[in-house]
Structure 1
Amino acid sequence: MSSRISIARPTAPGYTPSYTPEPHGLSNSRSNSGFRAANPDSPVEKLRAFAEQVEDYIDTFSQPLRPHLPAIGRFLIVVTFLEDALRITTQWSDQLWYLQRHRKFPWGISHIFLFINVITMLLGSGAVITKRHTEIAVGGLLGVVIIQGFGYGLIFDLTFFLRNLSVIGGLVMVMTEAMFTNKTRFAGLPSVSETDRKKYFLLAGRVLLIFLFLGFILQGTWSVARVLMSIVGLGACTMVAIGFKAKWSAAFLVLVLSIFNVFVNNWWSVHSAHPQRDFLKYDFFQTLSIVGGLILLVNMGPGGLSVDEKKKTY
């Protein structure tokens, strides 16, 4: 390769030749431990440079928000639980009627079921927002997701199941963020180091977060725009799951899901008496929770079990 050839210069006796690196490193004849493209004009190298430039822009524009990203992410993750607690409270009689009439709950059990759900969601959400007893709060909210699935008979509904997997992914990200900021907690699992636990939790959170998009692909009517969005979104979800350019792909999904949420789940435009309003509101706030999980991923990075991290060692 011509860029690797160094030209010998006439030297005086006793003079030791030295090499002057080319400013961009392309003509440096010394051994290089890192990978360098043979052709900087190749499409792969251009794509690599573009991705790095996008990451630089993301870091630049998110810098003013970066100190606040964890708080924003935690709030958005639990906002669906706050909305659900408010909805149960304001529709208490309707909730009791549904549980007793359609789910065959005994009179007292239905009241206890709703009361436990409301209290757990309010206390758990408050604890997550204020970062107090995070592991207990996340455990309580996970319990709410599970018992509501069985209690309302939605556990076998595929869309509900996929969406709630993503919500669980957001809660896992909250647990991981607590590990990053408070190393004195999570003293269990003595056979696994603190660093390894963070890696595994981040991997689980990344994988679970993308199930919302799979639910989006499986539901609704198809169109050209929907196909294109599904292909692009599925590519970004795959990048998040394997941890390749994870911050960039997570930021992209935050943008896409936010736009999608405003235009598709616009519950405020539906009349309050229309039954579709509650379904749209439920989908809207659940999507916000998943956006919150992605924001935490942007803030923390993909962790050790990711392509991005492995690339640093090669």
Structure 2
Amino acid sequence: MSSRISINRTGGHSYNPDPNGLGNTRPSAGYRSANPDDPLEKLRAFSKQLEDNVEILAQPLRPHLPAIGRFLIVVTFLEDALRITTQWSDQLWYLQVHRKFPWGLSHFFLLLNVLTMLTGSVAVILKRYTEYSVAGLLSVVIIQGFGYGLIFDLNFFLRNLSVIGGLFMVFSDSMVSRKSNFAGLPSFSETDRRKYFLLAGRILLIFLFLGFMIQGTWSIGRVFVSIIGLAACAMVAVGFKAKWSASFLVIVLSIFNVFINNWWSVHSAHPTRDFLKYDFFQTLSIVGGLILLVNMGPGGLSVDEKKKTY
């Protein structure tokens, strides 16, 4: 104990906490606690609380989210198959008169579409042969665009990009590892392929909202929703707070779908009924893709994932 005691000028004793001079007398430049009054800290705390609340509310549904997402993604294909079947003669008339399809080819085109959409959709729901099912549904999107002459329609193009994004999310959700069958070509692991398909799916999913922004009549409310929605789309694309932003888009698109694409309120003989119905079920498919994103997360190529390493 004597080494810790020193004698001062008055003869008294004083305590020296660092007798060997090993202490650092410079002011600390280390981590300082965050200022709770800082606006950025308040925003960060609010964001964290909101994420926790979303996580709590989604917890009972979480085991069912993959099944719900897969079903919603393929519901537009199921509805389209039903529509072609119930309007068979009208579909044949359109293809033969307006698209100049030969008699036999028009029948084959419609039958191939119906069978591919039904078998592919059921397989996706049951998680069977997912790679082949997704490839079949992707081919339907492409050949219908050319077959019906809608490939150069901007609204159709943007919507179907989002549907393709949803199919990519399905593919990522049930991807299995497979070695390359071609010698000399690089083979990707399941993790590598999954993160690239998740990135492509995230980017493609947001095109539906971009299509919503460029059509319709503008108002103050529409501008406000578009700005917030565009910010959420950017967050989904780069994978920043992806689960929160995807949840926000699910809510916005669901509300928009019910009030704007309300095909059930239009008379069955009205020509716009089929267009509204088509838009309604396509929007449901994009909502399904976003639900899968909420369940799986944004993947390795995202800001959220990179933040975990720093």
1:89 maps to which of 85, 105, 109: 85
CA distance in 1, matches of 2:18, 2:230: 65
Structure 1 residues without counterparts, runs of 5 or longer: 1-9, 15-28
1:288-307 to structure 2, matched below 5 A, reads 288-307=284-303
Q: Which amino acid aligns with 2:88?
A: W
Alignment check: 8 A CA contact 2:34 2:41 kept: no
TM-score, length basis structure 1: 0.87
Which residue of the partner structure matches residue 112 of structure 1? 108
Q: 1:150 to 1:13 in 2, by over 3 A?
A: closer
SS in 2 for 1:272: coil
Which residue of the partner structure matches residue 40 of structure 2? 44
Offset at 1:191? 3.2
Which residue of the partner structure matches residue 274 of structure 2? 278
Alignment check: 8 A CA contact 1:85 1:118 kept: yes
Offset at 1:42? 1.2
Offset at 1:196? 1.5
2:308 maps to which of 296, 309, 312: 312
SS in 1 for 2:174: helix
Asked whether 1:208 is paired with 2:208, we answer no
Q: 1:85 to 1:254 in 2, by over 3 A?
A: same
Q: Which amino acid aligns with 1:187?
A: K
Q: State the 4+ residue runs in structure 1 displaced beyond 3 angstroms.
A: 10-14, 29-32, 185-191
CA distance in 2, matches of 1:37, 1:107: 76
Which residue of the partner structure matches residue 11 of structure 2? none
Q: Which amino acid aligns with 1:283?
A: D
Q: 1:254 to 1:37 in 2, by over 3 A?
A: farther
Deviations 1:183-233 (A, max 9, x none): 4x4433743232111111110000000000110011111111111111010
Structure 2 residues without counterparts, runs of 5 or longer: 1-14, 20-27
TM-score, length basis structure 2: 0.88
Which residue of the partner structure matches residue 179 of structure 2? 187
Which residue of the partner structure matches residue 64 of structure 1? 60
Alignment check: 8 A CA contact 2:178 2:189 kept: no
Which residue of the partner structure matches residue 49 of structure 2? 53
Q: Which amino acid aligns with 1:236?
A: A
Deviations 1:51-82 (A, max 9, x none): 11111111101000000000000000000000
CA distance in 2, matches of 1:263, 1:160: 20
Which residue of the partner structure matches residue 258 of structure 2? 262
Asked whether 1:138 is paired with 2:134, we answer yes
Which residue of the partner structure matches residue 177 of structure 1? 173
Q: Which amino acid aligns with 1:204?
A: A
Q: Which amino acid aligns with 2:179?
A: A
Offset at 1:37? 6.6
Which residue of the partner structure matches residue 152 of structure 2? 156
Which residue of the partner structure matches residue 194 of structure 2? 198
